[in-house]
Every structure is written in structure tokens, then in C-alpha cells.
Amino acid sequence: MATKTKKRIGVHVGTAGGVWTAVDRAVAAGANTFQIFSASPRMWKAPAVKPADAAKLAELRAKHDVGPVVIHANYLINVCSQTDAVRANSIAAFRGEVERALALKAEFLVLHPGSWKGLTREEGLRLAAESIEQAVDGIDFSGKDFRLLIENTAGAEFSLGGKLEQVAELVEQLKSHLPVAVCLDTCHVHVSGYDIVTTDGYIETMKLVDSTVGSDAVKVWHCNDAKAAMGSKLDRHEHIGEGTIGAEAFRRLLHDDRFSHCAFIAETPVDAPGDEARNVGVLRTLAAG
């Protein structure tokens, strides 16, 4: 894996032309880590990874010292759905995500926990854990540099993970079944009602991170500014420093020693050519200053 002493700042990139092309896109954007979809994020089924593709990805990663590689799971997956058919499809799709992540030697696979609409919060949490456990049944994780990352959500009604305590509870239920940790999204933190903008708010929010999921368990920060107000529960990403979070909050995060082990990956809009590089550049500038 890439050297851990160097701050890892990257961006979500496409894989058109082959999964290995993501490395060149990341490097062109000034990134030394990246996130991808391992298949279409809006289709239930996907082909297995070709060994030659995985080998070429590994070769380019080593050449450019790029990593960790983060895969974001399919948007259709809802492991706590009250609907049996949706949950069955989600379990099968999530197993495919894990298998592809392992084949590509990705260090992290990020999952949104889903929506428990029609159920109680406790039922949703139980179903999410059971579905994930069922999906990974029989998969051998021993000796592999891999973790499933549960991501916090924007806090919409019935959305599991809108509270840090919910993320912590799901991780606790899963940790005996597979290697699991946490991904936090700055936009989601902000719009779900946690203050990371003011100095005092940031201090209190990170104390809560420490006391719930634990700072050590956070392996990836999705660095996204927000179009919507704090507490709005609207998941709308904005370019770094141009939204309701603002540049100073990202500077504070990037200099926070509790997260020095993390990868910081932008999922910001691509409104024009070069936007990936622009947002990576802003994060690098903030990390340096």
C-alpha cells in the first residue's frame, strides 16, 4: 500500500475505458488516492473483475504511489429495506461489491446503510446488520488489507446513519463478522445538524465523533462543501470553499492530528473540465497552509 506518512488527498473519478484508467485520472487531478464505482451505481448486477484489469490497476498504483483505493457501493442497495425483494437484491448486489473490491485489492468499500421507512429504527438497524452479515457469509477476509466503511448520511427521515450513534451501533453489530470501520462525509455531517463551521462547534462535534464511532475508526473523509444550510438534511454537494461549510472548516479538518491516518476524498460537482483538479488543489492548499 502507499506510504502512510504522506497526506492522502484525492477525488472520485470515472473508470471509462477500464478500471485501471482511474489511476491516470487521479494523477492528472493531482491526487494520490481516489474513489470509484466498481460497476454502474444504478444497476443491480455487474460482471466479475477480470484478473488482467486488476493486475493493470495494481501496476499503475505502484508506479504512481496511489492509494488507498476506495470503492463506493451501488446507490440501489438498501440493506434495511422493509421490502423482501429489495433486500434480497441488495444482499446479492452488496456481495458482488465486496467480491469486486477484494479482486481489485481496494482497501475500502463505502456503504450507505439505507432507509428503514415502514419500520422502527431498531428494526432497521437489525435488518441492516443481518443483511450485511448474510451478504459476506463465507467470504474469507483473513490476510486482506480491506475494510467495509459505514458512511454517515444526511439525516433524511428514516435514513439510517443520520446520527453518529447509529453509525457506531451498526459498526458494533458487524465487527465480529467482517473488518468494518467508518467513512464520514463533511456535507452529511453539516446538513444532518452537526456544527463543523464554527470553532466551538467543530470542537464539540469532534468530541462526539470520539465518543461514538471513535476517531481511529474513521478511515476516509468525504470532503464536500454543501449547497444547503446546516440541519437542512439536503444532500447537495458544492465545490470546496464555495458552500455553506466554507474553506476554514476543511483547513481545520485537514490539520486535525486525530485524522492524520485518513484519506480525504472529494465528491464535488464536475461542472466544467478540470473541476476534479481544482477541488483537489484547494484541499492541498488548505492542508499545506
Residues 37-53: b if buried by 16+ CB within 10 A, e if exposed? bbbeeeeeebeebeeeb
The number of angstroms, rounded, from the C-alpha of 167 to the middle of its chain's C-alpha atoms is 13
Residue 151 near residue 161, CB atoms below 8 Å: yes
Instruction: Catalytic residue, from 8, 147, 188, 239: name it.
Output: 188
Counting Cα atoms < 13 Å in the Cβ hemisphere of 38 gives 35
Active site residue 75: yes
Look at residue 286 and tell me whether its pLDDT is greater than 70.
yes
Which three three-digit cell numbers place residue 117? 421507512
Domain segments of the chain as ranges:
8-288
Segment 32-55, tens digit of pLDDT? 999 999 999 889 999 999 999 999
Segment 133-167, tens digit of pLDDT? 999 999 999 999 999 999 999 999 889 999 999 99
Q: What mean pLDDT is predicted for residues 180-187?
A: 98
Instruction: Catalytic residue, from 97, 107, 225, 235: name it.
Output: 235
Long-range contacts of 48-52 (CB under 8 A, 24+ apart): 48/99, 48/100, 48/103, 49/19, 49/99, 49/100, 49/103, 49/104, 51/103
Fold of 8-288: TIM Barrel (3.20.20)
Instruction: Catalytic residue, from 12, 222, 251, 278: name it.
Output: 222
| Residue 1, pLDDT score | 37
In this prediction the pTM is 0.96
Active site residue 190: no
Instruction: Catalytic residue, from 147, 190, 237, 239: name it.
Output: 237
